[in-house]
Amino acid sequence: LVRLRSRLSRSQNALGQGLLTLLSREHLDEDTWEEVEDTLLTADVGVQPTQELVESLRERVKVLGTRTPQELRALLREELLKLVGTDVDRAVRTEPEGRTPGIVMVVGVNGTGKTTTTGKLARVLVADGRTVVLGAADTFRAAAADQLQTWGERVGAHTVRGPEAGDPASVAFDAVKEGKEMGVDVVLIDTAGRLHTKTGLMDELGKVKRVVEKHAPVDEVLLVLDATTGQNGLVQARVFAEVVDISGIVLTKLDGTAKGGIVVAVQRELGVPVKLVGLGEGADDLAPFEPEAFVDALIG
C-alpha cells in the first residue's frame, strides 16, 4: 500500500498551510477569522464542521496568547484530528465470524471509480493471502464487466459475470454462490450506479442486496465517492444512503484535489467513516484512510 502521506501532501497541504499562515498573523481580527472560515469552506469541510472548528480555534488561540509556530501547528493538528475522528473503526469488514466468504458490495455513481476500486481492493486482499471472487453486477455499463474481469486476471481473482444488460441481482447471487462453492475468503460485488433514474437504482440496489442475503448477510457496503465533485458528491451520498445501509466510504481521486475537507463533510453527512482512499489510477493506489497521516499531509 502506498504511503498516504507522501501521496497526499502535494495536493492537500494548501489547506493546512493556508490555515497556519492565517493563524500566525500578529492580530487575529474578525477579517482573519472570516478568511479562516473561507479557507475551510473552500476545501469542502462543510458549514457545520467549519463553524465548530473556527469556534474551537478562536477559544484555544485566545488561551494560548503568544503563539509559536510549533504551538500553532500542534493545536491545529489536534483540532483537525478531532474533526476527522480518531476513535472510529475503519477496517473493511471482510471476515465475518464463523463463515466464509465475507461479502462486500461496492456502490456509487458511474465514473466515481467504483470498478477500479473493486479491482484495487481485490489486489490488496490477494496480496494479503486471501482468495477473492469478483461479481460483475454492473450489467448496465457494457464495458464494466470486461474492465472488472481484466482486474480479476491481473490480481488472480475469478470473475463472475452475466449476459449484457442482464439482471444484476442474479449475477450477484451467482457470484456469492460460486464463491461459496470455490471456498474463497471474500466476494466483492461491483454494482451499477446511474443516478438519473433514482427509482430504478433504488429498486436495483435494494434487490441486489436482498438477493445476496439469501446466501448470507452483506458484511460491508462501500460507497465510492469522487473527492473532486465536492457538494455534488454529498448529494449522491444522501441518495445512496436512502437506498442501502452504507457501512463505509471510499473517497477516490484524492490525488487530484486540494479539497480534502470532503472527508469531514461526508462523514458528518452519513455518520459513516471513510475507510479507504483512492490516490491514483494505478493498481497500488488504494490506501486505508489514516486520520493522522491525512492531517499531517494537510498541515505539511
Is residue 252 a contact residue for ligand GDP (CB under 6 A)? yes
- Binding ligand GDP (rule: CB under 6 A), the pick from 44, 220, 255, 269 is 255
Q: Closest approach of Cβ 194 to ligand GDP, in Å?
A: 10
Secondary structure in 3-state letters for the chain: CCCHHHHHHHHHHHHHHHHHHHHCCCCCCHHHHHHHHHHHHHCCCCHHHHHHHHHHHHHHHHHHCCCCHHHHHHHHHHHHHHHHCCCCCCCCCCCCCCCCCEEEEEECCCCCCHHHHHHHHHHHHHHCCCCEEEEEECCCCHHHHHHHHHHHHHHCCEEECCCCCCCHHHHHHHHHHHHHHHCCCEEEEEECCCCCCHHHHHHHHHHHHHHHCCCCCCCEEEEEEEHHHCHHHHHHHHHHHHHCCCCEEEEECHHHCCCCCHHHHHHHHHCCCEEEEECCCCCCCEEECCHHHHHHHHHC
Q: How far apart are the first and last CA of the chain?
A: 21
| Number of residues located near ligand GDP, criterion CB under 6 A | 17
109 is in an annotated binding site: yes
**Backbone angle region of 44, left / alpha / beta, with phi > 0 → left and psi within -120 to 50 → alpha:** left
- Binding ligand GDP (rule: CB under 6 A), the pick from 11, 12, 13, 115 is 115
| Touching ligand GDP, residues 116-135 (CB under 6 A) | 116
Instruction: Kindly tell me which of 101 and 280 has the beta carbon lying closer to ligand GDP.
Output: 280
- Binding ligand GDP (rule: CB under 6 A), the pick from 168, 233, 248, 278 is 278
166 is in an annotated binding site: no
115 is in an annotated binding site: yes
Question: How many CB atoms within 10 Å of residue 226?
Answer: 24
108 is in an annotated binding site: yes
254 is in an annotated binding site: yes
- Segment near ligand GDP (CB under 6 A), from 15-23, 94-102, 153-161, 275-283? 275-283
2 is in an annotated binding site: no
Is residue 111 a contact residue for ligand GDP (CB under 6 A)? yes
Q: Closest approach of Cβ 117 to ligand GDP, in Å?
A: 6
Give 187's Cβ-side CA count (13 Å radius): 31
138 is in an annotated binding site: no
Is residue 282 a contact residue for ligand GDP (CB under 6 A)? no
Cα–Cα distance measured from residue 43 to residue 40, given in angstroms and rounded to the nearest whole number = 5
Q: Closest approach of Cβ 146 to ligand GDP, in Å?
A: 11
Instruction: Kindly tell me which of 31 and 281 has the beta carbon lying closer to ligand GDP.
Output: 281
Instruction: Kindly tell me which of 100 and 112 has the beta carbon lying closer to ligand GDP.
Output: 112
179 is in an annotated binding site: no
**Residue span 151-190 as binding mask against ligand GDP, x where in contact by CB under 6 A, dash where not:** ----------------------------------------
Q: Which residues are annotated as a binding site?
A: 108-115, 190-194, 252-255
Q: Which residues are annotated as a binding site for GTP?
A: 108-115, 190-194, 252-255
Which spans of this chain sit near ligand GDP (rule: CB under 6 A)? Answer: 108, 110-116, 252-253, 255-256, 278-281, 285
